[in-house]
Amino acid sequence: MKNNSYLILKTLIFILVFFPFIMHIYWGIFDIYYANNVMYIWIFLLFFLLFFKYIESDFEFIKNKEILYIFAIFLVLFLVNSYILGEYKDLMKYSAYIFSLLFLFNVFMQNKYFKLYINIVTFFTFTALILYFYYLLFPAPFSFIVDNLSLLTLDSSFVTREDWDYSIPYYLLVFPVNDLGANQLSILGLPRFFGMSTEPTLYSVVVLPTIIMALYFKKYFQALILFFGLLLASSLGALLFGIIGCMFYLFYRYKLSLFYVLIVLFFLGKSTGFYESLLSDSPRMNFYIGGVLNLFSLQSISLFANTGYENLQNIDSARISSLIRITLKYGLLQAASYLLIFYVYIKFTLTTKSKLLFVFSIVSLLILDKSGESLSPLFLFYFSFIYSQYLIFKKSLDKKTGLC
């Protein structure tokens, strides 16, 4: 049994290093920790987690051949495509992420750390909500505009983005200065809640799956706070995916039929021109759905890497999902390997026969696909969560059947 000092150190590393690492794409304020260079925090994380692995020496992910195969196929295809394109940046990045999952993530693959993750997300959301309402009642956030903040680097996403000017009170809340109270209203009629992200969508990518995770662990108070933050963010995609998740939960017994129905409805909407009429009345809907519809008119999708990817017409990198982008740039085979990872991810939840875990897998995949990152550390953290619950279920089943 590990002593208390070791457990305290491990918990501190989770809070101060691991959590910022898995958040670095979505909650931009954590970039302050490592000067907007994820390599700094990754090296720091690697040092500590290798130390933990030396003590604990348990590589759960490597024991599962299915997990090894799907990620090996993904990386081999990435290597081929990177050679064709003559660029290796994405290959190095995803190799580092997958290495982290296989060798390091299972250091924290225990329910107490997943619950700690829920509590940390809730804490920062609750803190941001307090500041949010304070500055709505006493409007004075503009003493904290980005240009005046010393802890942000010049390549911070808050500095480089051109669609909003940001104010960041106490580095715990984000306000879009040039849109506050104007065009960015939530469904509650209040300015949209950015949390600690550069936009409400990235905030929702974290919060929506965390709500389901909180419900799974019966942490209803945390789920309520996060749900309120999600309503204020009013990301159309997040709300739509939440509704889809509710449908799968209510009709879990008919989940495969429901999946087919949703696909048929999507193509019916396209063939009848429903989306076009909807998009003409809603610029925000056009922003999110337009890129998906454009995919069907593109003729440049190949089996392997597309050397003319950057020159393809009708491509707006801000409007297409991770799956579409990886298909257009790296080809159909790479996209198939990407979907294979998703299949195994969902398969683990089906094995547990937990409705909430299944909904979590579907909703997290849908909303993470909006973020633009194919296999982010946050997705791999969710993967470790799903796999840990699969292992718990498997061990419980083995005990019942007398196999262990």
Q: For the residues 21-29, what does the mean pLDDT come to? A: 88
Q: How far apart are CA 16 and CA 49, in angstroms?
A: 13
- Percentage of the chain surpassing pLDDT 70? 83
Cβ(19)–Cβ(108) below 8 Å: no
Smallest Cα–Cα separation from 22: which of 120, 112, 129?
A: 120
**CA distances (Å), 173 to each of 128, 192, 197, 223, 251, in order?**
5, 12, 8, 20, 38
Other beta carbons less than 10 A from residue 90's beta carbon: 17
Q: What is the dihedral sign for C-alpha 153, 172, 112, 71?
A: negative
* CA-wise closest residue to 371 among 265, 235, 275: 235
Strand partners, 175: 167
**Confidence band of 264 (pLDDT split at 50, 70, 90):** confident
Average pLDDT, the chain: 82
Q: Is 263 helix (H, G, I), strand (E, B) or coil?
A: helix
Task: Specify the pLDDT at position 347.
Answer: 93
Nearest to 242 by CA among 363, 130, 358: 363
**In angstroms, rounded to a whole number, what is the distance separating the alpha carbons of residues 229 and 242?**
14
Band (pLDDT 50/70/90 cuts) for residue 321 is confident
As given in the structure block, the two tokens for residue 104 are: 């390091």
Q: What's the average model confidence in pLDDT over 50-60?
A: 72
Position 275 confidence tier, pLDDT thresholds 50, 70, 90: low
Q: Which range, 144-148, 235-239, 276-280, 318-322, has the best average confidence (pLDDT)?
A: 144-148
Yes or no: say if 158 and 166 are a contact pair by the CB < 8 Å rule: yes
8 A C-beta contact, residue 356 and residue 215: yes
Q: Among residues 353, 356, 344, which one has the least CA distance to residue 387? A: 344
Beta partners for 145?
A: 167
Q: Do the beta carbons of residue 328 and residue 315 sit within 8 Å?
A: yes
Mean pLDDT confidence for 201-220: 94
Q: Give, as one character, the DSSP assignment of residue 163.
A: S
DSSP 189: S
CB 195, CB 125: distance < 8 Å: yes
Which CA distances in Å does 154 have to 30, 37, 164, 170, 390?
15, 12, 16, 18, 43
256 against 179, higher pLDDT: 256
326: exposed, middle or buried (Cβ count in 10 Å: 0-12, 13-18, 19+): buried
pLDDT of residue 82: 92
